[in-house]
Structure 1
Amino acid sequence: MIKKLTSIAITAFLFGCGSPENKDSKITVSSPNGKNSITFELRQGKPSYSVKHGETGIIDASEMGFVFKNGDSLHNNLRVVNTNTSEHDETWEQVWGEKQFIQDHYQQLEVVLQEETDQKRQLKIQFRAFDDGIAFRYQYPGNGTEDSLVIMDELTRFNLSNDGEAWWIPAYQDNRYEYLFTQSAVSTLDTVHTPLTIKSNDGLFLSFHEANLINYASMTLARENGTALKCDLVPWADGDRVKTNGSFTTPWRTLQIAENPGDLITSYMILNLNDPNKLEDTSWIEPHKYLGIWWGMHIGKYSFWESPIQGATTENARMYIDYCEKLGVDHLLIEGWNKGWTPQWYENAMHMFSFTKEADGFDLKEVTDYARSKGVSIIGYHETGSNIINYLEQIDAGMGLYQKYGMHDIKIGQVGSRLNMKEWHHGQFGVNYYRFVLEKAAEYELAVNFHEPIKDTGERRTYPNMMAREGARGQEYNAWSEGNPPSHTVILPFTRMLSGPMDFTPGILDVEIKQGYEGRDVHTTAAKQLALYVVLYSPVQMLADLPENYDGNPAFKFLQDVPVDWSDTRVLNAEIGEYITTVRKDKNSEDWYLGSITNEEARDLEIALDFLEEGAVYEAQIYADAEGTGYETNPAEIEVSSREVTSKDSLKLHLGKGGGTAIRFGKK
C-alpha cells in the first residue's frame, strides 16, 4: 500500500519554495510511530539534515552534497524547486531468511534542489523515516549531456549530538574487514568501516551503514573532530572516488536506532531499502548445512595444494560423502579440487588458478556422480587469489562446468589485499565486480557464498542467490593464529551481522584442536559452538569440524536438528560484547531454537519462555556447559538433558566462561 500524506501528517515549513529570491526552507518527516524524525534544512543555499528520536537529538545539522573533479561541486547556491511526501506500508515474504514476513513501513520526503547558476543542475534527496531508523540517498539525473562525471568527495556528514561507546574495525587495512573489534569512545575514532555500532551517552543504540550499494564506492566513516563523522568513499587506485556516466544514484545512508541492543538485530531496514526479488525461479536456491574438506586444511592435517597430504582427492571426497550420508548432511564443500594451488596461494600475487582443470588425484565427474548416488550435493569452489583478470576470463567456463554436473552452490574467494593487486575490494571497482559475479552466478543457477567480500548491504533481497559471505574474522583464525577471543562472537551480532548473514563456520566440537597446530584452540566451549548456529545467522551453515569428531558424539544431534531457515527471530536479552540470547522459530515446523552465549565471564541467566505457543507443551532438549566447564577448563564437556516446558515456565541457564547453551524446543 502506498498512500499520500495529508498536510497534517507532516510538519513542514516552506518559505519561498521554488523562489530564487529565498534560499531558506525547513521540512520534517517522522516515522509512522512518530519516534524518529529527519529534518531537512536549506540555509543560505546549503543543504543539511538532522535527526531526532523523540526529543533526543541524535544528529545535529549536518552538511550534504558533492565535490566533482576539476574543482566542480554541488553543495551550495541551491534552492528548493519541489517537495513530495508519501507513506509506504507493505509486507513482503523472504525467499529464505531470519524472518519470513517483513513489514516495510515508512514515511518519505523527496526534495528537489536546483542550482542558481547557468547550469541549473538539479539534485534530488530522498529521506525515509522508519520506526527502527532513518535513511536518505541522493539522485543526480545529470546535466542533459553524455559527459562523464567523477565524484571526488561526498560531503555527507553525521554530526553526532552526543559521544558514546563505539565498536569498530579500521578502514584501509590489507586484511579488509578481518579484524577484531575495538571498543572506544566515538571521539577517539579515526576512519572505520560500517556497520559502525554505537551506544550513545544518552542510552540509545545506533548503527551507521548503507543499503543497496550499486555502481558506487562503499562508504567508510572518518572522524573529523569531536563526534563529527564524515562519509569517506573508498577510492580507485588513481584517486577517483566514483566514476559515472554523467548521472548517479548513491546507496542509502542508513542509521538504525534502538532503545535496546537486541532491537538492532531484529531491524530489517537494510533489506527494506533494497529492490524486490528479480529472480523469477528460486526453486534451485536451497538453504542448507554442509560438511567440508576445509578445517583439516586449516589445522594442517591436509594441504590445499597437490602434495602427499592433499585434501581434495577423489578418495577423500568419497570418504566425506560417506560421512555426509552417515551424519545426515546433504551438502559438501571441496576446496582445492582444481589446478593452480601452491603453498604460496594466499600471498599477494597474480596467481593463475584454473577453474576447469582438475588437480592430480581428483575426478570431478566421479565425485559428483558418487555424491548424487548418496543424496549429497557438491558445493563448488572458486579461489581467485584476487586475480580478477584471470577469473573473469574463465568465469563462464568455470560456472558452466558446475552447471553441467548439476551443482547449485558455489563459494568464491578473493584472498589478497587488493583486487588485481591494485584496487580495494570495497571501492567502486570491487562493488561492480562482486555484483557482476553475483548476476553471472544467477545465470548459471548458482547460489553464492563470497569470502573476502564486499560488505553486505541487503542485496540478498534482490538476488536471493546471494546467500552468505565472510567479511569478518571467522573460525579459521582459531586454527593458525592467536585466535578470536570469547568476546568476538558476542560483538559480531551487533556489528558485522547487522549487515547480513555471515559464513562464520561454527561447529568445532574438538575445541582443543587435538589434531591441529600445537597450542591452538577455538577459545569457546563446545556448547557455545552449538549455540552459535542460532546466534550467528546464515542460510548456509558449515559443520566445520572434522567429520570423525561428529561421528558418535551425542551433541551432534543438535547440529542435525537445528534449521537454517526461520519464520521468526527474537532477542531475549543482550549486552554488546557481554552476552546474548536469541530464539528463532523453524520455518518448516512448530519448533523453536535458543542460543545463548557469553564472553570471557561466566554468567547465570533466567529466560522466560513466553515466546512459546500458549497452551502448548514442548520438550526442551538442552545442551549446556557441564559443571566446571569454561573455555580454559574442560571446554569440550557438554551436559545433555531434557524436560517438559510451557510458555508459562522459565529456564535458568548457566554459561561457563566463553560458554553457551543451545536448546531445541520440540512441540509435543
Structure 2
Amino acid sequence: MQKRLRAWGMGLALAVAAAPAAAQQDTMSVRSPDGRNVIGIEPRDGRLFYRVSRDGQPVMLPSRLGFEFRGGDTLGALRVTGAARDSADETWTQPWGEVAHVRDHHNELRVHVAEAGGQARAFDLVLRAFDDGVAFRYELGERFGAFEMMEELTEFALADNARAWWIPGNQPEPDRQEILYSSSPVSRLDTVHTPLTLQYTNGTQVVIHEANLVDYAGMYLARTQNRVLRSTLARWADGVAVRGTAPFVTPWRTIQVADRPEDLAPSLLTLKLNPPSRIANTSWITPMKYNGVWWGMHINTETWGSGPTHGARTENVKRYMDFAAANGLGGTLVEGWNLGWDVDWFNTMQATFSFTQPYPDFDLPGLAAYARARGMTLIGHHETATKIENYERQLDSAMALYERVGVRAVKTGYVGDKTEHGHAHQSQYMVRHHRRVIETAARHGIMVNVHEPIKDTGERRTWPNMLSREGSRGMEYNAWGGEGGNPPEHETILFFTRMLAGPMDFTPGIFDLLIQRPTGTPRRPEDARPRTTLAKQLALYVVLYSPLQMAADLPENYADQPAFQFIRDVAVDWDTTVVLNGRIGDHVIVARKEKGQDEWFVGAITDEEARSFDVPLSFLPAGRRYVAEIYADGPGADWRDNPLPVTISRQDVDAGSTLRIEMAPGGGQAIRIRPAD
C-alpha cells in the first residue's frame, strides 16, 4: 500500500545577516512530525553550522559543515540565498525484512547556500526530521565542476560526554570491521567506524551513521576536540577521498535518536533515505536458512584447497545437500570449489582465483541440478582477496555461469584491508565496485551475501537482492580467534551497534561448543570456541537478524539433537519486530512475528552474567490461544565448562500470559509461539 502526502513550501529569501536571531532560528530549522526532534542551520562568520535537539534539549551543538578540496581549497564565505520546505508520508511494503511495512514520515528543509565571492559555488543542504532521528546531505551545484575532495568537514559536536560503543577505524586496524567492541566516554575516542552508538547521561540514545552510500567514500569519525567528532573519509591510494563531477549528491549523514536502548531496533532510518527498488519483480528473492561446506575448514577437518580432505568434493557436498533438504533448509554454500586455493594467498596476498573453473573433483552443473531436484539451491562463493581487477575481469562471465547452471545466490569475500593498488577497503573505489557486483548479480537473478564488506547504508531497499553481509566479528573467530573466541557480551553489543546498520550473516548454530578437533590434536583450555551455551546459539537466530541464516555446524553434530528442531522451525522473514528488553552489553530480549503466519519467535541472550526476566506476552493478539515451545538453558548450564544442557518444554499461553526467562552465564533462551491445536 502506498500513501503519500507532499506539501511544498515557498522558497524563502533569507537575508541572514539582517534577520533577527529568533527569526533565523524559526525559519532555518525543521521539526519531526511528532515535534520532538529538530534540526536546523546556523550561519556564523561566513561558515555554516547545524544543530540538533530533542524535546528542547541539545543533542548536537552547532557543528561545522563543509569540504576541503585538493590544494587546500575550502569553501569561501557562505551565505544563505533561500530555502524551501517539504513533507512526505509514504508507506511501502518490503520484499523481505525485519518488518514488512516501512513508513517514511518526515519534514524537510532545503537550504540554498552560495559562496559570497570567489568561485561563487553553490550547494543545497537538505535536512530531514523524522520521529526516529534526523538526516542531512549536500547537493553540489554545477559550478563545483570536476573536483577532487580531500576531506569532508562535517562535525558532530556532542552535547554530552556520552558513553560510546565503538570499534577503531584507523589503520593499521582491520578496515573490514572484524574487531571486538570497546566502550568509553566520547572524550577518549580516536577514529572509529559507524554506526557509532552513544548513550547520553540523561538516557537519550544516539546513533551516528550514513545512508545511501553510492559513489562516495565511506565515513569514519575522528575526535578533534573533547566532544567533537569530525567525518573523515576512506581514501584512494593517492590520498584523494572523493572524485566527482557536479551536479553531485553526497550520502546522508544520519543521527538516530531514541529514549531507550529498546527503541533503537528495528532501525529503519537508512532505508527511508534510499531510493525505491530498482528490481521490478522481486519474487525470485527468497530469504532462507542454509548450511554449507565452511565450518570444517575453520576447525581444520576440511580444506579449501585440493587434497584428501578437500571440502568441495562432489560426494561431500551431496552429503551436506541431503542434510539440508531433509531438514527444510533452502541452500548449501560451498567454499573452495574454484581454482586458486592451493597457494598461500592469505599471507602472500597473491591470489589469482578463477571464478569459472572448478576443481576436477567438483561437479558444478551436476551439483546445482542435484540441489534443484531437492527444492533448494547451491550457493556459490567468490573470494576475491581484494584483488578487484581480477574479479571484475571475470564478474560478468562468473555471474552468467551461475545463472546458466541455476545457482541462485553467491557469497562474496574481500579478505584484505586494501586493494592490490592500495585503495582503502571502504574507499570510493570499493563502493563503486560493490555496486557493480550487486547490479550485475541482479541482472542474472542472483542474491548476494558479502563477507568483509563495506558497511550497510540501506542499499537493500534499492537492490533487495543485496540480502546480507558480515562486517563484524562473526562465528569463525570462535574457531581460531587469538583471544579464545568472542566474549559472552559480544552479541549483546552487536544488537545495539553493528546490527543497527542492517542484516548480518553471523552464521550461528554451533552445537559442538567444545569443538572436537582432528584426532591427535589435544584440546587446550585457551583454545578458541564459542563462548555461549547451546540455548544461546538457538536464540541468536532471532536476535541477530539476517534473511539468510546458516546452520553453521557440521551435519553430524546435529544428529540426534532434539534442540535442532528450533533451527528447523525458526523463520527468517518477519512482519513485526518488538524489542522487549535490552541493555547494551548486558542482555537482549526480542520478539519477531513470522511474515504471513500467526507464529512468533522470541530470542533472549545475556553476557557472562546469569539473568532472569518475567516477560509479558502482550504483543500477542488478544483472544487467541497459543503454545510456547521453550528451549532454555538446562540445569547447571554455564558457557565456561558446561555449555550443552538444554531443557525443552511447552506451555499454554495467550496475550495475558507472562513467561519466566532464566538464562545461565553466557546463556540464552529461544521460544517458538504457535497457535494452539
TM range (shorter): over 0.9
Q: Is the 8 A contact 2:295 2:553 kept in 1?
A: yes
Identity %: 45
Query: What residue in structure 1 maps to residue 628 of structure 2?
Result: 620
Q: Is the 8 A contact 2:412 2:451 kept in 1?
A: yes
Per-residue CA deviations over 1:546-605 (Å, capped at 9, x if unaligned) read 111112211111100101000000000000000000000000310000000000001111
Displacement of 1:225: 1.3
Query: What residue in structure 2 maps to residue 152 of structure 1?
Result: 150
Per-residue CA deviations over 1:23-58 (Å, capped at 9, x if unaligned) read 984412110001110121112321111110112111
Query: What residue in structure 1 maps to residue 565 of structure 2?
Result: 557
Query: What residue in structure 2 maps to residue 488 of structure 1?
Result: 490
Query: What residue in structure 1 maps to residue 247 of structure 2?
Result: 247
Per-residue CA deviations over 1:152-209 (Å, capped at 9, x if unaligned) read 1111101101111100000132352000000111000000000000111121111100
What amino acid sits opposite 1:156 in the alignment? T
Per-residue CA deviations over 1:349-406 (Å, capped at 9, x if unaligned) read 2310011111131111221222222222100111111111111111111111100111
Query: What residue in structure 1 maps to residue 503 of structure 2?
Result: 501
Question: What is the rounded CA distance, in whole Å, between the counterparts of 1:465 and 1:73 in structure 2?
Answer: 39
Q: Is the 8 A contact 2:636 2:645 kept in 1?
A: no
Question: What is the rounded CA distance, in whole Å, between the counterparts of 1:652 and 1:346 in structure 2?
Answer: 47
Q: Which is worse superposed, 598-607 or 110-119? A: 110-119
Per-residue CA deviations over 1:585-641 (Å, capped at 9, x if unaligned) read 000310000000000001111100000110111100000000110101320111000
2:167 pairs with 1:165:
no
Displacement of 1:330: 2.5
In the TM superposition, 1:406-425 aligns within 5 A as 406-420=406-420, 422-425=422-425
What amino acid sits opposite 1:328 in the alignment? G
Question: What is the rounded CA distance, in whole Å, between the counterparts of 1:458 and 1:6 in structure 2?
Answer: 28
Q: Is the 8 A contact 1:324 1:332 kept in 2?
A: yes
Question: What is the rounded CA distance, in whole Å, between the counterparts of 1:167 and 1:267 in structure 2?
Answer: 17
Tell me the number of residue pairs that the alignment of Structure 1 and Structure 2 aligns.
659
Q: Which is worse superposed, 591-600 or 85-94? A: 85-94
Cα distance, 1:88–1:607 mapped onto 2, change above 3 Å: same
Displacement of 1:347: 2.6
Query: What residue in structure 1 maps to residue 365 of structure 2?
Result: 365
User: SS state of the match for residue 4, structure 1?
Assistant: coil
Q: Is the 8 A contact 1:512 1:636 kept in 2?
A: no
Per-residue CA deviations over 1:321-367 (Å, capped at 9, x if unaligned) read 11122222231001111100025232352310011111131111221
Question: What is the rounded CA distance, in whole Å, between the counterparts of 2:529 and 2:233 in structure 1?
Answer: 38
Question: What is the rounded CA distance, in whole Å, between the counterparts of 2:417 and 2:425 in structure 1?
Answer: 8
Identify the match of residue 548 of structure 2 among 540, 555, 558.
540
Q: Is the 8 A contact 2:267 2:501 kept in 1?
A: no
Query: What residue in structure 1 maps to residue 294 of structure 2?
Result: 294
Q: Which is worse superposed, 614-623 or 239-248? A: 239-248
2:502 pairs with 1:515:
no
Q: Is the 8 A contact 2:477 2:528 kept in 1?
A: no
Question: What is the rounded CA distance, in whole Å, between the counterparts of 1:557 and 1:654 in structure 2?
Answer: 20
Q: Is the 8 A contact 2:190 2:223 kept in 1?
A: yes
**Could you say what the CA RMSD is over the residues aligned between the two structures, in angstroms?**
1.7
Q: Is the 8 A contact 2:301 2:309 kept in 1?
A: yes
User: SS state of the match for residue 142, structure 2?
Assistant: coil
User: SS state of the match for residue 423, structure 1?
Assistant: coil
Identify the match of residue 670 of structure 2 among 648, 662, 668.
662
Q: Is the 8 A contact 1:287 1:540 kept in 2?
A: yes
Q: Is the 8 A contact 1:2 1:86 kept in 2?
A: no
Unaligned runs of 5+ in 2: none
Question: What is the rounded CA distance, in whole Å, between the counterparts of 2:180 and 2:118 in structure 1?
Answer: 51
- The TM-score, its normalising length taken from structure 1, stands at 0.96
Cα distance, 1:118–1:184 mapped onto 2, change above 3 Å: closer
User: SS state of the match for residue 345, structure 2?
Assistant: coil
User: SS state of the match for residue 277, structure 1?
Assistant: coil
Question: What is the rounded CA distance, in whole Å, between the counterparts of 1:179 and 1:23 in structure 2?
Answer: 49
2:11 pairs with 1:3:
no
Q: Which is worse superposed, 560-569 or 352-361? A: 352-361
Q: Which is worse superposed, 167-176 or 525-534? A: 167-176
Question: What is the rounded CA distance, in whole Å, between the counterparts of 2:619 and 2:307 in structure 1?
Answer: 53
User: SS state of the match for residue 538, structure 2?
Assistant: helix
Question: What is the rounded CA distance, in whole Å, between the counterparts of 1:581 and 1:132 in structure 2?
Answer: 21
2:356 pairs with 1:353:
no
What amino acid sits opposite 1:390 in the alignment? N
Query: What residue in structure 1 maps to residue 47 of structure 2?
Result: 46
User: SS state of the match for residue 445, structure 1?
Assistant: coil
Query: What residue in structure 2 maps to residue 185 of structure 1?
Result: 185
Query: What residue in structure 1 maps to residue 537 of structure 2?
Result: 529
Unaligned runs of 5+ in 1: none
